[in-house]
Amino acid sequence: MTKIRTVIVDDEPLARDRIRSLLEAQADVEIVGECRDGDEAVEAVRKLTPDLVFLDVQIPERNGFEVIEALGTDLSPVIVFVTAYDQYALQAFEVHAVDYLLKPFDEERFQKALDRAREALRRPRGTEVSERLLSLLKDLKQPAAYLDRLVVKSAGRLFFLRTEEVDWIESAGNYVCLHVGPESHLLRETMNGVEERLDPARFVRIHRTAIVNIDRVKELQPLFHGEYQVVLRDGTQLTLSRGYRERLQEVIGREF
């Protein structure tokens, strides 16, 4: 039996152990290498020429995208991405990768990813896999567009939210809370990080802890010391800090 030569790339020892234990139960898989960072991954793939790579996204030295870019298409193993909360990664993987594993994953989900990898390996090499990688590399070199969709994980499920549906965003420690009508969703992201990825013509930072969808603002009510109360169409009341006032004035095209 020709075995599937496999490399595991993850900076977390427990994560590598988890993937290794699941792969060791597969009769047609041979683990030929394990890597802790992106530099090791590039070196291992070049040296070992594996058929399959389980590639974490958030790894030191080079992230998963940079590993692929460094390898180019001359070396084209089947890639199964492993990730936690990166919504950009999720969107890219759905289009370009054989599959992705969203941490934490169970044995059934892992088996599904492995079956997809087996199916990809049965097809002629150097065609579809290379095309996927070429397409991914092309996208990586494109200027980053503003988000039009957010992917949120909750209770083991993934929710796809269009950014235009979000009323406002609130800081919540290591997360942000997306307020969408009567619902709210936690996203593992910083306020600065999510602000950079949203269209500044639609979403405006009004406070250290709040970003609003300008289309949801009903009125501004003056408070004290240059601050304003921002009233949304659903009645939500937020505070516009003096330090963020100028940015809001730029968006609405009027001083106040």
d(CA 245, CA 242): 5
Tell me, yes or no, whether 9 and 102 share the same domain.
Answer: yes
If asked whether residues 170 and 115 sit together in one domain, one would say no
> Are both 24 and 117 inside the same structural domain?
yes
Per-residue pLDDT of the chain (256 residues; tens, 9 = 90+): 789 999 999 998 999 999 999 999 999 999 999 999 999 999 999 999 999 999 998 888 888 878 888 887 666 788 898 887 555 555 555 545 688 788 888 999 999 999 999 998 887 655 555 555 555 555 545 545 688 888 888 777 888 899 999 999 999 988 999 999 999 999 988 898 899 889 988 999 999 999 999 999 999 999 988 899 999 999 999 999 998 998 888 888 778 8
What is the domain extent for residue 105?
4-140
Positive or negative CA dihedral for 37, 51, 119, 2?
negative
Shared-domain flag, residues 118 and 23 = yes
**CATH number of the domain within which 205 lies:** 2.40.50.1020
DSSP 108-158: HHHHHHHHHHHHHHHSPTTTHHHHHHHHHHHHHTSPPPPPSEEEEEETTEE
Q: How far is CA 94 from the centre of its chain?
A: 11
Based on the fold, state whether residues 103 and 167 are members of the same structural domain. Answer: no
Report the number of distinct structural domains present in the chain.
Answer: 2
| CATH code where residue 26 lies | 3.40.50.2300
